[in-house]
Amino acid sequence: MKIENCKLKIISEFQPRGDQPQAITKLSQGIKAGFEFQTLLGVTGSGKTYTMAKVIEKTNKPTLVISPNKTLAAQLYEEFKGFFPNNQVSYFVSYYDYYQPEAYIPATDTYIEKDSMVNQEIDRLRHEAVQGVLSRRDTIIVASVSCIYNLGKPETYLRERLILKVGDTMSFEQLFGRLLDLQYERNDYELACGRFRKRMNFVDVWLAGAKTINRIEIVNGKIIGLAECEAPFGNFIPAAEADLWPAKFWMAGGDKVNEAIENIKKEMEAQTAYFKKQDKLVEAERIRRRTEYDISLIKETGWCHGIENYSRHLDFREPDSAPYTLLDYFPKDYLLMIDESHITVPQIRGMQAGDFAREQPLINYGFRLPSAIDNRPLKYSEFLKKINQTVFVSATPGDYEKKTSKQIAEQIVRPTYLLDPQIEIRATENQIDNAIKEIEARKKLGQRTLCLTITKRLSEALADHLKQRRIKAEYLHSEIKTLARPKILADLRKGKFDVLVGINLLREGLDLPEVSLIIIFDADKEGFLRDETSLVQIMGRASRHPDGLVVMYADNITGSMRRAMEETDRRRKIQDNYNKKQGINPQIIYKEIKETLSARDKIEEKMPNDEFIKEYQKELTAKLDLARRNLQFEKAAQIRAQIQEIKLKTKDNSQ
């Protein structure tokens, strides 16, 4: 297969400043020298992303950037797309808006069937990422840690790819058969991503991984015309070829599928015999019935729900061998950058153990075959074997990164030359009223505030309380949908609200230059959310503004608080000395607000007329109760916000 070999090139008005030039040179030279591990230690707001982009440009390697969560991955994706507009920049995160993994709880004899809600846009972006790295070298993929989960064999994905050209011999029946093999669904009434339809003498295929519809015109068993358009309503233009990639990552196709099915049957028979020998007749019948049902679907359609649990057989892997992941789709000389490595590396280390604890009861009680244990994320030892050269990126790298790295490039002086924020400690008595006064003062200056609580419940309660005090506020935590998070952050920057309340999601990587005030509640609650690393990261959110201030509410000064303040003070002195020596005045840089990844499915309901307010409020309250009982937390949050809006409107009208 021919692979495009364009150069990675930055298009940007920015030029390296502060400590960026020496960091870029040091890391680039390290990669060219073959260093396996390096670390970029850059303070918040020092332009680590731009430094990463310059290193990628200088080394010109296909690059995987792993981020610890979806919010940061989305932000990095936006920034890299801006830096590399003419190259392939892709986004790869878990495509579930809601995910309940399959599990079994022996103590209560409770089987929990896998339940999920797939976000079709993210699924498309995942396919786009994989197709990009398989066909182009000028590729950057920004991913969450989901990139180390089982994805399917790249050779199978490539083998099933279908390229059509004008003049090819193919009947409609043959085309339909190949499209079904690729897991496209036929729907002649409603065309959508991953579907196809027939109209007269042509077939329209909405490609997986693209916003493109291909039209294939067939007459007398021969392709006489190809065209494509932008989905869903673009104008068709002639095309030289139609490049059809699979619609799913796991497929049971090819010549060896029958051999794989026979291997699954053999394992099923062995496991059934094992259960019968143990006098576990229920488990024996269960595993036989479930496996035979899945086999029948694989034979007929090439796919079944939970097909990934048979991936060891379908990929012909050895027991306990490493699964195929996104890393296997990259060429051997690719570059890996691990953003916020102090968080991401421990996540990667712990993924497999957590998955094993969930899978084992399913196997022990006959819900899955023993080979299902190999449908898992990578072990850390396997992860290390699949990577080439790595750059850890963090404002607070852990001991592991420091010890492993051949060299560490520091970025203390920012390109904006702004100093680290000032820090104040205040007593917890009357802390809410005191915090509101600070928020109001910043609000008058057109500045924004971040508030950090210790739990989700407190973040929601504080946001509601601030709204009652006529302060525009929103909250952000893990129950907010993936594509809604960047929009919430963009709305904060635009001034649609003044305060964002959160937990640890506000720690790493959020580029919010309008934020001048950070309020940390329960700062003296020593633990994961209030340790030295967390506090340094939290304080850094205010370092992109010249009036940056951090207020910590605490009745005691913990060791973590003291060390975090000492480190911040050390950095502040280095920055101040540099500015005085160079005669520089710090300046704030406002980046363009982009919303490529925005929520497209937000529930919006118009406010009814005043006479229907009470009835409408009752209806919303009933909807809220139903959403909570159905565990639809995102929908419940939206309905609760509407109820709050109605209460405020009613209060305004009564005054």
Q: What is the pLDDT of residues 100-150, one digit of tens each?
A: 667 777 888 877 776 655 677 888 999 999 999 999 999 999 999 999 998
Buried b (16+ CB within 10 A) or exposed e, 75-95: bbbbbbbbbbeebbbbbbbbb
pLDDT at 598 (0 to 100): 43
Helix, strand, coil in percent for the chain, rounding step 5: 45, 20, 35
Sheet holding 63-66, edge to edge: 88-92, 139-143, 63-66, 335-339, 389-394, 37-42, 407-411
DSSP 136: B
pLDDT at residue 119, rounded to an integer: 74
Cβ atoms of residues 217 and 228 within 8 Å: no
Residues 6+ apart with CB under 8 A from 569: 420
Return the structure tokens found at 70: 């979806």
What secondary structure letter does DSSP report for 160?
A: T
606 secondary structure, DSSP code: P
Q: Express each pLDDT in 149-179 by its tens digit.
A: 988 889 989 988 999 999 999 999 999 999 9
Q: Which residues of the chain have a pLDDT value below 50?
A: 596-608
| 646: helix, strand or coil | helix
What distance in Å separates the CA atoms of residue 121 and residue 129, rounded to the nearest whole number? Answer: 12
Task: Answer yes or no: are the C-beta atoms of 102 and 113 closer than 8 Å.
Answer: yes
Type of residue found at 91: Y
Give the list of residues 6+ apart from residue 166 with CB closer than 8 angstroms, or none: 223, 224, 225, 226, 240
pTM of the model: 0.78
Three-state secondary structure string covering 315-350 = CCCCCCCCCCCHHHHCCCCCEEEEECHHHHHHHHHH
* C-alpha span between 311 and 319 (Å, rounded): 11
Tens digits of residue pLDDT in 470-516: 999 998 876 666 557 777 888 899 999 999 998 865 555 567 889 99
32, 23, 46: which is closest to 574 by C-alpha?
Answer: 46
358 and 368 Cβ atoms separated by less than 8 Å: no
pLDDT score, position 482: 56
